[in-house]
Amino acid sequence: MIDLSSITTNGKAMYLAYDHGMEHGPNDLPGKSVDPEYILNLAIQGEYTSVILQKGIAEKYYPPYKNKIPLIIKLNGKTRLVDGEALSVQICSVKEAIKLGAKAVGYTIYAGSKYEAVMLQEFSKIEEKAHREGLPVIGWIYPRGKEVHDENSPEIVSYAARIGLELGADIVKIKYCGSKECFNKAVIAAGKTKVVLSGGAKTDIPEDFYDIVKNVMDADAIGAAVGRNVWQNENALEISKKIKEIIFTN
């Protein structure tokens, strides 16, 4: 088993996700959140167990923060400017990620897309290389495609979790399926692969998001990777502290 201690604290994970500039575009980065330095400082002050970046931001902004907050590099990416079935290809190697200071790597698989074979294969190769170096691999498993009618349905979320286990991911990052009970089924389906929540779009009020985090922790997830629900809010630090309290002392 790969050691997860460099990206967890007491076995719990609280990741600040910030790959949205590529995935969604800067419209999703309001106010101060467009500045990577603001995010890195927030990750430190909010005592996240890691920050998730794409390689470009890591290269230009991460060096002064290297010993202050662990880094997870997302190895693939896509923009929202392409129509049709989702394909996210590798844009950073494991070697490059290690050079940039990554303590773990992540990769998104759109299971159900007509291109899923490309992503399954790339993921496997990445995993082999990362594990050889002792680096944990996190699978963002997001079923998406013609046959996936509701990517938040309990069945699909459990399926995503199971894909992570079958592929050998150390951690699987999955969407919320609506309740503690269905999320627990997904955690069970993931077996020895650890599960973190993929935060999702900003909720109307932070309390609704706290309830989601509470439910996933009650469902035996190890934590959450959160982006928009934190830094799209003006009081991002306060929200981070609350999330931390739920993850670590729930």
Q: Is 46 in the site for ligand FBP (CB under 6 A)?
A: no
Rounded distance between C-alpha atoms, residue 209 and residue 121, angstroms: 34
95 in catalytic set: no
Among residues 173, 194, 202, 244, which one is catalytic? 173
Rounded distance between C-alpha atoms, residue 24 and residue 3, angstroms: 32
Half-sphere CA count of 215, side-chain side, radius 13 A: 20
Q: Is 199 in the site for ligand FBP (CB under 6 A)?
A: yes
Nearest partner of 8 among 196, 145, 168, 204, judged by Cα: 196
Q: Is 198 in the site for ligand FBP (CB under 6 A)?
A: yes
- Residue choice 14, 19, 158, 161 for contact with ligand FBP (CB under 6 A): 19
- Beta strand pairing status for 194-198 and 171-174? parallel
Classified as helix, coil or strand, 229 is helix
173 in catalytic set: yes
* Shortest distance in whole angstroms from residue 217 CB to ligand FBP: 16
**CA 46 from chain center: how many Å?**
17
* Shortest distance in whole angstroms from residue 225 CB to ligand FBP: 6
Residue with nearest beta carbon to ligand FBP: 199
Phi, psi for residue 246 in degrees, rounded to 5: -70, -45
Task: Return the range that interacts with ligand FBP (CB under 6 A); candidates 43-51, 184-192, 197-205, 239-247.
Answer: 197-205
* Shortest distance in whole angstroms from residue 19 CB to ligand FBP: 4
Q: Name every residue whose Cβ is closer than 8 Å to that of residue 206 and which is 6 or more positions away in sequence.
A: 229, 233, 239, 242
Task: Return the range that interacts with ligand FBP (CB under 6 A); candidates 12-20, 119-127, 183-191, 241-249.
Answer: 12-20
Count the site residues for ligand FBP by CB under 6 A: 13
> What are the residue numbers of the active site?
142, 173
List interacting residues with ligand FBP (CB under 6 A). Answer: 17, 19-20, 23, 140, 198-200, 225-229
